[in-house]
């Protein structure tokens, strides 16, 4: 049974497009600043395991494609749940004073892909890895990652799984670039899909084209 949750727009009435974008982008910048400030306490450089390598970029692309294919497959298994998640996403971005055009999608995806990977995988997982077994560090950072996306219980569970995948990808590849690319590419796909799809009614099963 899918969860029906009423979602309020995060944008107050009358918010301009520029201010709305700033509301989405600036908090990411604050988190990145805190991650680098925390290095003084944890001794963990968030970018210690980051480098521009072709192999890491390719791994990120393959990971993104794999995640997208798994999402499509899962939509056929739990269509009502995904229709509800679509409705929640439309409730947030449908009320935004901007459209999810390519420039905005690329901006939001780049900011999230870079900033959230620096904070959650580079800084948080990197620090937790010094305190506990790697598998537990991956799970715990994903739990915190999901807790900071409190749209609904279903969405938090979804983000939890994505966080685990990205954390495992970082640990396996040894390069933060891989989860950055995967996160960016996935967000581009998800936001553009949201832009192209009609708004689903609550409980409506939406079929992918």
Share of the chain above pLDDT 70, in %: 91
pLDDT at res. 96: 87
Retrieve residue 9's tokens. Answer: 């727009």
pLDDT at res. 4: 59
Q: Is 202 strand, coil or helix?
A: coil
Retrieve residue 166's tokens. Answer: 């990205």
Residue 199 has pLDDT above 80, yes or no: no
* pLDDT single digits (tens) 79-138: 888 888 888 888 888 778 999 999 999 999 999 999 999 999 999 999 999 999 999 999
With b for 16 or more beta-carbon neighbours within 10 A and e for fewer, the 8-18 pattern comes to eeebeeebeee
* pLDDT single digits (tens) 26-47: 999 999 999 999 999 999 999 9
Within its chain, how far is the Cα of 1 from the centroid?
24
* Nearest alpha carbon to residue 93 among 83, 111, 114, 108: 108
CA 56 to CA 76: how far, in whole Å? 31
CA 190 to CA 141: how far, in whole Å? 22
Share of the chain above pLDDT 90, in %: 70
CA 109 to CA 187: how far, in whole Å? 5
pLDDT at res. 2: 47
Retrieve residue 154's tokens. Answer: 């279903």
180 vs 78, higher pLDDT? 180
**Whole-model pTM above 0.75?**
yes
The pLDDT confidence band at residue 200, using thresholds 50, 70 and 90, is low
49 vs 201, higher pLDDT? 49
Residue 1 has pLDDT above 80, yes or no: no
Retrieve residue 124's tokens. Answer: 């948080």
């Amino acid at each position: 049974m899918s969860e029906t949750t009423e979602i309020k727009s995060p944008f107050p009435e009358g918010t301009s497009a520029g201010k709305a974008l700033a509301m989405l982008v600036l908090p990411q910048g604050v988190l990145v600043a805190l991650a680098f400030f925390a290095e003084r306490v944890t001794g963990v450089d968030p970018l210690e395991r980051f480098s521009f390598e072709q192999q890491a970029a390719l791994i990120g692309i393959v990971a993104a494609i794999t995640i997208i294919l798994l999402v499509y497959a899962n939509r056929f298994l739990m269509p009502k749940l995904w229709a509800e998640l679509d409705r929640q996403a439309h409730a947030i971005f449908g009320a935004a004073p901007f459209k999810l055009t390519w420039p905005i999608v690329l901006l939001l995806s780049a900011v999230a892909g870079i900033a959230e990977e620096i904070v959650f995988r580079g800084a948080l997982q990197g620090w937790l890895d010094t305190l506990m077994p790697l598998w537990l560090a991956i799970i715990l950072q994903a739990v915190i990652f999901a807790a900071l996306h409190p749209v609904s219980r279903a969405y938090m569970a979804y983000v939890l799984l994505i966080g685990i995948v990205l954390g495992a990808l970082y640990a396996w590849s040894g390069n933060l670039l891989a989860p950055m690319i995967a996160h960016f590419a996935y967000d581009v796909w998800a936001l553009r899909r949201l832009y192209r799809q009609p708004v689903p009614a609550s409980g409506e099963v939406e079929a992918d084209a």
